Amino acid sequence: MRRINHVLSFLVGILITQMPPIAQAGTDFVWDLDGRPLRTSSQYYILPAPNQKIGSGLILEGRNGSCPFNVASTVWRLGGLDEATDKRFVTTGGVTGNPGSSTVSNWFKVERESEGVDNGRYKLVFCPGVCSFCKVICGNLGVYNVNGRNWLALGDPALSIVFKEI
């Protein structure tokens, strides 16, 4: 198990594999803390924006208490509904590429924290557009505390983030 204070314990390299540099809808780029557009040839830490108070940070741990083997190469996916918390948590075990119905839970978006405001802060959103006939629940990713541990899950309020090149 890894506990990383004030640093999300996931790398964003897997999220940004589609286009260099990373552009949002239209021609807007996603920028890192150094004022450079994100590039697929680089890896980034996802950090909580300075205004976020998430306490001890997030934990990269299986919901069943197990620890993923290689954090840097894990692919995120949105897990099924956790009946105890009524939340859908971000987990590992996704598949890189292959957009379609079999990978619909693997696709996340980076959006500006506030529409029309370019303050360098972003949020992660689950709303895949890789399957025209799939029914998905769209929403922001936020931090939820369960038994003293922070987890990334679908729902509001959205976690405000910034990107730092490794």
Domain boundaries, the chain: 2-165
Confidence of residue 9 (pLDDT cuts 50, 70, 90): very low
pTM: 0.74
The neighbour count for residue 81, using CB atoms within 10 Å, is 12
At 28-40, the pLDDT tens digits run 789 999 999 999 8
The better pLDDT of the pair 159, 119 is held by: 159
**Residue 80 vs residues 63, 87, 129, 131: alpha-carbon distances, Å:** 11, 8, 18, 18
Report pLDDT for 3: 36
CATH classification (class only), 2-165? mainly beta
- The overall average pLDDT reported for the chain is 77
